[in-house]
Chain A
Amino acid sequence: NAGVTQTPKFRVLKTGQSMTLLCAQDMNHEYMYWYRQDPGMGLRLIHYSVGEGTTAKGEVPDGYNVSRLKKQNFLLGLESAAPSQTSVYFCASSTLRSREGLLTDTQYFGPGTRLTVL
């Protein structure tokens, strides 16, 4: 049971390049999230998904796109990278009910991807 995994761990891009970050979870969670973490700003939600085939915008969606074609995967895309997108990106997942049947909304986080845009 790997939990939430992210690939790649590190990436350096030039301005204007594109890339896709992959998030995978093996907990059969319905909800998945992409955050970015910047110094002094905490975590900010980029996009999220409440189920396979559905996505929604978070606080800071501009410049990013997402897709959730399979329940276990949530992809974050940067079509034309900008230096302002230099950040650490975290994926998370959660479920509505725990294995015991209790309502829960605890999010489980991946280890992060450090992206630098030059």
Chain B
Amino acid sequence: AQSVAQPEDQVNVAEGNPLTVKCTYSVSGNPYLFWYVQYPNRGLQFLLKYITGDNLVKGSYGFEAEFNKSQTSFHLKKPSALVSDSALYFCAVRDYKLIFGTGTRLQVFP
């Protein structure tokens, strides 16, 4: 069965520092991987996705994610964090439906 894991419940980072939110996956076949963000009291918003091609995927709000097949990872990254990036981040893999990880809360401190 397809699955994703987000090993960190919370990530804390100072504004201006680089951030990484981790995601590992388990799939049979080629993975279709996604990152979504959820701001307080809002629905999820699409950030980026990997289907095929370049291992470095660029998305919205300056985020990018690196697909690593050998490590079965799809970590979300940003070179310089903003306080406004504080939110709940979900990694997901597509089977016949989207399967979401449990989410990682990102807290960016001024």
Chain A interfacial positions (CB closer than 8 Å to B): 4, 33, 40-45, 48, 58, 90, 92, 103, 105-112
CB-based contact B43/A110 at 8 Å: yes
Stretch with Cβ within 8 A of A (4 or more), from B11-19, B61-69, B76-84, B94-102: B94-102
Interface residues of B in 80-110 (CB under 8 A from A): 90, 94, 97-98, 100-103
CB-based contact B45/A109 at 8 Å: yes
Please give the distance in Å from A4's CB to the nearest CB on chain B: 7
Name the one of B9, B43, B102 contacting A90, with C-beta atoms under 8 angstroms: B43
CB-based contact B44/A4 at 8 Å: no
Count of residues in B whose CB is under 8 Å from the partner chain: 20
In angstroms, Cα B97 to Cα A33, docked, is 9
Please give the distance in Å from B61's CB to the nearest CB on chain A: 15
Chain B interfacial positions (CB closer than 8 Å to A): 9, 32, 34, 36, 41-46, 49, 51, 90, 94, 97-98, 100-103
The answer to whether A43 and B90 touch (CB under 8 A), given A33-B97, A58-B97, is yes
Instruction: List 11 additional A-B contacts (Cβ < 8 Å) besides A42-B103, A109-B36, A112-B42.
Output: A40-B102, A43-B98, A48-B97, A90-B43, A90-B44, A92-B43, A103-B51, A107-B44, A108-B46, A111-B41, A111-B43
CB-based contact A109/B97 at 8 Å: no
In angstroms, Cα B45 to Cα A4, docked, is 12
CB-CB under 8 A from A103, the residues of chain B are 51
Name the one of A43, A108, A111 contacting B42, with C-beta atoms under 8 angstroms: A111
The answer to whether A107 and B42 touch (CB under 8 A), given A42-B90, A43-B90, is no
CB-CB under 8 A from B98, the residues of chain A are 33, 43, 45, 105, 107
In angstroms, Cα B43 to Cα A109, docked, is 5
The answer to whether A43 and B100 touch (CB under 8 A), given A110-B43, A112-B42, A112-B43, is yes
CB-based contact B46/A42 at 8 Å: no
CB-CB under 8 A from B90, the residues of chain A are 42-43
List 25 A-B residue pairs with CB atoms under 8 Å apart, sorted by A's residue number: A4-B43, A33-B98, A40-B9, A41-B102, A42-B90, A42-B100, A43-B90, A43-B98, A45-B97, A45-B98, A90-B43, A90-B44, A103-B51, A105-B32, A105-B94, A106-B34, A106-B46, A107-B46, A109-B43, A109-B44, A110-B43, A111-B42, A111-B43, A112-B41, A112-B43
